[in-house]
């Protein structure tokens, strides 16, 4: 798939065109061997009046009865602009502290089996297909922060738990300039929602980015992209993602269904011993089999150098609160980060009802900071705006969620030029 800006993004798998299917015609039911497709209607169930009945008459019926569908059908399948195929793998992976841990995650057809899962990049207003082929037991793919219909949301017990194959289909809402109530451009992630607490810790997640539509009133400079439809431009070349992740080795000795039968396996006691910064520049994710994508350094464009600012996407993929501090070389706080959106929602000036809600920086109130505190699953988009060339330090701290004590730290260098 394409990255929405003319360059190839990490985890791209090419664009495919799907063929619409007829969903009103009953199909072959799943067999005990796991082949075939479960019907949306029950053949022969005509109630005596000759009309077929839908298998799921209501969302309650669907939520109660869908788990036995080994190969569920994607209803009302439409041609897709972006398609990706995801498989599930389990491997021992070595991290940058030389520790090895069993990890489960997603891979695409290239078979590289890296962690975190491949980047998926879609565009507002366009249909995405993601076909999942699980292993090691049933899994789902939940699109965290987006709101597909229940069949495609991937939340266990309200959506399908996939044992065979399923194609998720959804279309992110298109943004409109000045409208604070629509649009989905921003940073998200996808993860398994079966035995969620364990499976996410085992590594079953990956970054998801929604790019905005191109609006004629907001042209884009060469080599740049907008963060949202009428938002600021940023430099594609230095766009990066930072993913704090902490790891409890004891959890990585558990099985797929640990704790699901009511037994206490300790999933209410998260005691991480390892702390990692995952990610890096999106255009330069390293390739190769069984690799961990670790963040070691960042670049930032200096204002006035002819390039747009660097966009740093922040995704908290662990169960502890995190704190980011940015300092200059002397250790003094450096307010070079402009916060432009949170959880896929742009910060806008909504102080005057009935008028366009402009981005807050355009309204004269940019959110500039040297610190950022955030919790599990939160995402922030930051524009880095260093005033002059030099080096800065970005420190990430992990805090105990009860005591607030710092239990881990990692630091990377930001080189401004």
pTM, whole model, 2 decimals? 0.85
What is the tens place of the pLDDT at every residue in 152-162? 999 977 788 89
End-to-end CA distance of the chain: 31
**Residue 123 confidence (pLDDT):** 98
- Asked whether residue 372 is domain-assigned, the answer is yes
Residue 93 has pLDDT above 50, yes or no: yes
d(CA 15, CA 1): 5
Angle, alpha carbons 289-290-292 (nearest 5°): 120
Question: In the structure encoding, which two tokens stand for residue 118, read together?
Answer: 């491949």
φ/ψ region of 96 (left if φ > 0, alpha if ψ in -120 to 50, else beta) reads alpha
Compute φ and ψ for 134, nearest 5 degrees. -75, 170
d(CA 227, CA 381): 8
Residue 217 exposed, middle or buried by CB count within 10 Å (0-12, 13-18, 19+): exposed
Listed ranges 24-33, 68-77, 157-166, 394-403; the one with the highest mean pLDDT? 394-403
Residues composing the chain? 417
Closest-CA residue to 277 (of 267, 292, 290, 255):
292
- Asked whether residue 22 is domain-assigned, the answer is no
Residue 199 has pLDDT above 60, yes or no: yes
Residues 6+ apart with CB under 8 A from 72: 37, 38, 66, 151, 160, 162, 166
- Asked whether residue 53 is domain-assigned, the answer is no
Using 50, 70 and 90 to split pLDDT, how confident is the model at 289?
confident
- The domain that contains 291 carries what CATH number? 2.60.40.420
**Residue 157 confidence (pLDDT):** 73
**Residue 236 confidence (pLDDT):** 98
Write out the H or E segment, with its range, that includes residue 121. strand 120-123
d(CA 18, CA 20): 6
**Residue 397 confidence (pLDDT):** 98
* Count of the separate structural domains present in the chain: 1
Using 50, 70 and 90 to split pLDDT, how confident is the model at 34?
very low
**Residue 4 confidence (pLDDT):** 37
DSSP state, residue 159: B
Among the residue ranges 48-62, 245-259, 297-311, 379-393, the one predicted with the least confidence is 48-62
**Residue 125 confidence (pLDDT):** 97
d(CA 9, CA 31): 39
- Asked whether residue 230 is domain-assigned, the answer is yes
CA count, 13 A, side-chain hemisphere, 49: 4
The count of other CB atoms within 10 Å of the CB of residue 368 is 13
- Asked whether residue 186 is domain-assigned, the answer is yes
Percent over 70 (pLDDT), the chain: 83
Using 50, 70 and 90 to split pLDDT, how confident is the model at 303?
confident
Closest-CA residue to 166 (of 88, 81, 73, 89):
73
Question: What does pLDDT average to over the chain?
Answer: 87
Write out the H or E segment, with its range, that includes residue 257. none
Question: Are 149 and 98 a contacting pair, CB within 8 Å?
Answer: no
Structural domain harbouring 140 = 82-258+269-416
**Residue 135 confidence (pLDDT):** 83
- Asked whether residue 349 is domain-assigned, the answer is yes
Question: In the structure encoding, which two tokens stand for residue 190, read together?
Answer: 């996808």
d(CA 214, CA 232): 13
**Signed CA dihedral, 91, 88, 375, 178: sign only:** positive
What is the tens place of the pLDDT at every residue in 317-374? 999 999 999 999 999 999 999 999 999 999 999 999 999 999 999 999 999 999 999 9
d(CA 382, CA 238): 13
- Asked whether residue 111 is domain-assigned, the answer is yes
Q: Alpha carbon of 231 to those of 5, 24, 387: distances in Å? A: 15, 42, 21
What is the tens place of the pLDDT at every residue in 52-78? 555 566 655 665 555 556 788 899 999
- Asked whether residue 25 is domain-assigned, the answer is no
Residue 273 has pLDDT above 70, yes or no: yes
Question: Are 167 and 221 a contacting pair, CB within 8 Å?
Answer: no
**Residue 49 confidence (pLDDT):** 55
């Amino acid at each position: 798939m394409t990255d929405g800006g003319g360059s190839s993004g990490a985890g791209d798998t090419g664009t495919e065109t799907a063929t619409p299917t007829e969903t009103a015609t009953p199909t072959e039911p799943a067999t005990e061997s796991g082949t075939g497709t479960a019907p949306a209607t029950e053949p022969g169930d005509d109630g005596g009046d000759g009309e077929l009945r839908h298998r799921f008459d209501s969302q309650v019926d669907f939520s109660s009865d869908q788990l036995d569908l080994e190969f569920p059908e994607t209803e009302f399948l439409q041609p897709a602009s972006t398609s990706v195929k995801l498989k599930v793998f389990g491997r021992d992976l070595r991290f940058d502290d030389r520790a090895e841990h069993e990890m489960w995650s997603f891979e695409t057809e290239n078979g590289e089996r890296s962690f975190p899962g491949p980047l998926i990049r879609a565009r507002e207003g366009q249909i995405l297909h993601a076909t999942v082929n699980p292993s090691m037991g049933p899994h789902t793919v939940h699109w965290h922060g987006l709101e597909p219909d229940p069949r495609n949301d991937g939340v266990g017990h309200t959506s399908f738990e996939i044992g065979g194959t399923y194609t998720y289909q959804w279309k992110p809402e298109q943004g409109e300039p000045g409208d604070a109530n629509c649009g989905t451009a921003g940073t998200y992630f996808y993860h398994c929602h079966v035995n969620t607490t364990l499976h996410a810790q085992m590594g079953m997640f990956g970054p998801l980015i929604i790019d905005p539509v191109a609006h004629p009133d907001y042209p884009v400079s060469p080599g740049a992209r907008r963060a949202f439809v009428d938002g600021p431009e940023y430099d594609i070349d230095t766009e990066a993602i930072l993913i704090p992740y902490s790891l409890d080795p004891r959890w990585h000795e558990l099985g797929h269904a640990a704790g699901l039968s009511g037994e206490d396996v300790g999933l209410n006691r998260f005691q991480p011993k390892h702390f990692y910064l995952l990610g890096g520049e999106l255009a330069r994710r390293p390739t190769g089999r069984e690799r961990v994508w670790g963040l070691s350094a960042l670049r930032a464009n200096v204002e006035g150098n002819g390039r747009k600012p660097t966009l740093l996407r922040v995704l908290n993929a662990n169960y502890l609160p995190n704190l980011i501090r940015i300092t200059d070389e002397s250790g003094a706080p450096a307010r070079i980060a402009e916060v432009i959106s949170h959880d896929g929602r742009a910060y806008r000036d909504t102080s005057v009802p009935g008028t366009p809600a402009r981005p807050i920086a355009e309204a004269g109130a940019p959110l500039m900071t040297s610190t950022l505190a955030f919790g599990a699953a939160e995402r922030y988009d930051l524009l880095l705006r260093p005033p002059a060339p030099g080096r800065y330090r970005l420190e990430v701290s992990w805090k105990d969620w009860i005591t607030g004590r710092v239990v881990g730290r990692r630091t990377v260098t930001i080189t401004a030029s």
